[in-house]
């Protein structure tokens, strides 16, 4: 291989190695969040489009909704907000459970952007 071809290949390899790596939270399929008042908010994530919560003795399935939060699930009445180790459940703007947090630290993994 001639030198003219080696320079671009070497430059690409060097830049790929320098790609930024940001840690993100690895979310398990179920987390029992602990909320204010020592209440528990069990959350089970489905396929990324749904999440189920146990609230007032009933399991309620919520659909993924657009949000500035990391994750938001709603059924039109209840809204579940998840942001890694934190969670909040509300109904029509009134917080029902929150602030909530995972009782154990959640694992993280590097996310490489290219």
The residue extents of the domains of the chain are: 25-105
**What pLDDT does 69 receive?**
65
**What pLDDT does 16 receive?**
47
Which positions of the chain have pLDDT values less than 70? 1-21, 23-27, 69, 111-114
CA-CA-CA-CA torsion sign (25, 93, 40, 54): negative
**What pLDDT does 25 receive?**
61
**What pLDDT does 107 receive?**
73
**What pLDDT does 46 receive?**
82
**What pLDDT does 23 receive?**
66
Fold of 25-105: Lipocalin (2.40.128)
Q: Which run of H or E residues covers position 78?
A: strand 78-83
CA geometry: angle 26, 110, 100, nearest 5 deg:
30
**What pLDDT does 15 receive?**
43
**What pLDDT does 9 receive?**
44
CA distance linking residue 1 with residue 53, whole number of Å: 60
**What pLDDT does 11 receive?**
40
CA distance linking residue 100 with residue 88, whole number of Å: 6
CA distance linking residue 36 with residue 38, whole number of Å: 5
Closest CA to 43 of 67, 70, 68: 70
């Amino acid at each position: 291989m001639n030198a003219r071809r080696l320079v671009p290949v070497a430059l690409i390899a060097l830049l790929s190695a320098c790609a930024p790596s940001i840690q993100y939270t690895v979310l398990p399929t179920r987390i029992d969040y602990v909320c204010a008042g020592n209440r528990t908010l069990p959350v089970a994530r489905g396929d990324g489009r749904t999440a189920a919560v146990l609230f007032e003795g009933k399991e309620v399935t919520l659909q993924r909704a657009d949000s500035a939060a990391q994750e938001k699930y709603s059924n039109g009445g209840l809204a579940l907000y998840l942001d890694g180790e934190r969670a909040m459940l509300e109904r029509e703007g009134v917080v029902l459970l929150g602030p909530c947090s995972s009782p154990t630290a959640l694992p993280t993994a590097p996310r490489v952007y290219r």
